[in-house]
């Protein structure tokens, strides 16, 4: 096996931030838009923010690094970063509370199958949610429970391993590797005709309460790496 590509960074300064699909606007609130999410790149990390204007919405910050290359379909991808909550989760915290922290590694096969192959995790951090503390994975159509993680303000390391050729995908969280194969295949409509590999860091702000202050959401990411390997 040899490494054919390798990229890394301390922060996410060369990544792109867009509005993801996990959004909601309460009745009477204007639709969620790109102004509701942002990224702040610091020297040692990046801070992803969602619902930065404290509106009665739930906003999805999707920040990604993309490489367009047909080799992505036949390579073994190994990627990693660290993330942390820079605040204490509490039902009394009116400044910051989130819905989820998420991330994943995907390869879109535009020329052939028109399918998105990959691996993704989701950590539920809404203290009112019945799935609070759950670590979940994407199965191609829904989120399924994989394990749990106690919220804190420490950095956590998550690693992704994706092998499309053999249809395998595994996550390692803080040195614990989940044995379940969570390889996913997701159909998409209206995507391009190229092979696009994407390494993603994401967060969603908390589902808005009907009354009271609406918290914003923020999460730190740092020390990312992404290697593509092939058997020779």
Q: Provide the percentage of residues in the chain whose pLDDT is more than 90.
A: 93
Q: Is the pLDDT of residue 1 over 80?
A: no
Q: Is the pLDDT of residue 70 over 90?
A: yes
Predicted local confidence at residue 169, as pLDDT: 98
Average the pLDDT over 175-199 and give the result.
96
Side-chain half-sphere CA neighbours of 27 within 13 A: 2
State how far the Cα of 43 lies from the Cα of 46, in Å rounded to an integer. Answer: 8
Average the pLDDT over 75-84 and give the result.
97
Predicted local confidence at residue 191, as pLDDT: 94
Q: What is the pLDDT of residues 210-222, one digit of tens each?
A: 888 899 999 999 9
The residue ranges of every structural domain in the chain are: 2-230
Two tokens at 212?
Answer: 């009271």
State how far the Cα of 52 lies from the Cα of 36, in Å rounded to an integer. Answer: 6
Average the pLDDT over 146-172 and give the result.
97
Which positions ≥6 away from 75 have C-beta within 8 Å?
A: 4, 5, 228, 229, 230
Strand residues in the chain grouped as ranges (E):
2-9, 16-19, 24-25, 37-41, 46-50, 57-58, 60-68, 76-84, 98-109, 115-124, 134-138, 143-148, 156-163, 168-173, 176-177, 184-187, 195-205, 217-230
Two tokens at 42?
Answer: 């610091």
Fold of the 2-230 domain: Jelly Rolls (2.60.120)
Predicted local confidence at residue 209, as pLDDT: 86
Predicted local confidence at residue 3, as pLDDT: 78
Predicted local confidence at residue 232, as pLDDT: 60
pTM: 0.96
Which positions ≥6 away from 30 have C-beta within 8 Å?
A: 55
Q: Which of 80, 59, 126 is nearest to 221 (CA)?
A: 80
Average the pLDDT over 173-198 and give the result.
96
Phi and psi (nearest 5°) for 88? -90, 125
């Amino acid at each position: 096996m040899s490494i054919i590509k390798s990229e890394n960074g301390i922060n996410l300064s060369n990544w792109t931030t867009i509005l993801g699909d996990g959004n909601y606007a309460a009745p009477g609130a204007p639709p969620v838009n790109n102004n509701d999410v942002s990224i702040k790149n610091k020297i040692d990390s990046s801070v992803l923010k969602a619902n930065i204007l404290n509106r009665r919405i739930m906003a999805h910050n999707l920040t990604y690094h993309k490489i367009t290359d047909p080799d992505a379909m036949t390579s073994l991808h190994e990627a990693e970063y660290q993330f942390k909550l820079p605040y204490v989760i509490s039902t009394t915290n009116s400044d910051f509370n989130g819905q989820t922290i998420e991330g994943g590694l995907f390869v879109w096969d535009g020329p052939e199958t028109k399918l998105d192959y990959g691996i993704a995790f989701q950590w539920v951090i809404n203290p009112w949610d019945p799935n609070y503390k759950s670590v979940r994975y994407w199965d191609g159509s829904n989120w399924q429970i994989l394990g749990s993680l106690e919220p804190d303000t420490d950095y956590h390391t998550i690693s992704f391993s994706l092998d499309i050729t053999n249809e395998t995908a595994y996550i390692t969280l803080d040195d614990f590797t989940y044995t379940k194969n969570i390889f996913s295949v997701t159909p998409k409509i209206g995507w391009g005709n190229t092979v696009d590999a994407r390494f993603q860091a994401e967060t969603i702000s908390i589902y808005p309460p009907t009354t009271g202050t609406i918290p914003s959401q923020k999460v730190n990411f740092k020390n990312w790496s992404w290697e593509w390997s092939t058997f020779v």
